[in-house]
Structure 1
């Protein structure tokens, strides 16, 4: 898949019998997913959201051409992307896409390389950086200003002040 595509949401289970689907969105405003125009999946298929409304932890959407529960079920798990060029410009320097963090070097305050960001995860309590350390181990670090005080996307570098012991080897294992 092209690096030019940014994940905006993932289609979930159907909602009702008329083809509506639940979508977990990754947009600042969940309802904004309907404002980007046609969205693409990994296979290059195009999807147009005709209507979207809020639900508890997702949005419920009607996708053009999907009119039955069976058609909606077939879309379960489809990842919806938009071309990066169609995204609005960042309003300030502290605003960036999670996708921009992947591949950034993770350094200490002196500039020593500790590892590289492999993914950004969120299991409900906030964003976590999945960092592959230089020794090959992987750790999850809370992605907060306290633990990642300086982010330089242009330089592909994140300076961290990790929680005590996070990067240390556990010799008991």
Structure 2
């Protein structure tokens, strides 16, 4: 299984640097000079390997220089590229309250009363916060804010939800005044 460790947001400057939104707790290990990254190119253009030549922090993101990417046009073409590693390269966390996204995918989800909701399909990292994409038992996708008030219990075996009224009910959208 692939894990995303970064995503190219945009180009930076005229020398081919890319701005990378980091998705790893170990950027100093993953984006060190001479490290090789596997990149999934945008718009279904396949995969390619990239060698990091330099990386530096800038406004909460990384500015990364890659071998063979020497100008703004080349860097712009990489917008949306995902940098990936194999999940087997990651040691599980010893902290019971820390999870990698791939550890939660496929975990059953239920309500605090014990009724089944579905399973986690993925964890989405958005500017407003994290969301759990849950595939319900009736085959709908529900996006659940991954916050303690709504998700009071998380483990690698079971996720418990205490959702506000209407979050899981598709009919509540039709009942607007």
Work out whether the TM-score is over 0.5. yes
CA shift for structure 1 position 90: 1.1
What is residue 159 of structure 2 aligned with on the other side? 158
Q: Residues 89, 131 of structure 1: CA spacing in aligned structure 2 closer, same or farther, 3 A cutoff?
A: closer
Q: Residues 64, 80 of structure 1: CA spacing in aligned structure 2 closer, same or farther, 3 A cutoff?
A: same
TM (norm. structure 1) is 0.82
Q: Residues 86, 29 of structure 1: CA spacing in aligned structure 2 closer, same or farther, 3 A cutoff?
A: closer
**How many aligned positions are there?**
168
What is residue 81 of structure 2 aligned with on the other side? 78
Matched, 1:8 2:5: yes
What is residue 96 of structure 2 aligned with on the other side? 93
| Contact 2:38–2:49 (Cα < 8 Å) also in 1 | yes
Q: Residues 82, 113 of structure 1: CA spacing in aligned structure 2 closer, same or farther, 3 A cutoff?
A: same
Aligned-partner Cα distance in 2 for 1:33–1:15: 20
Matched, 1:22 2:29: no
| Contact 2:32–2:55 (Cα < 8 Å) also in 1 | no
Q: Tell me how large the CA RMSD over aligned residues is.
A: 2.4
SS of the equivalent of 1:122 reads strand
| Contact 1:31–1:59 (Cα < 8 Å) also in 2 | no
* Equivalent residue for 1:38, pick from 36, 39, 42: 36
Aligned-partner Cα distance in 2 for 1:164–1:30: 39
SS of the equivalent of 2:20 reads strand
Where structure 1 has 5 or more consecutive residues not aligned to the other structure, the ranges are none
Instruction: String of CA shifts for 1:1-53, please: whole Å, max 9, x gaps.
Output: xx1x2111111321111111111111236555414932212344222222212
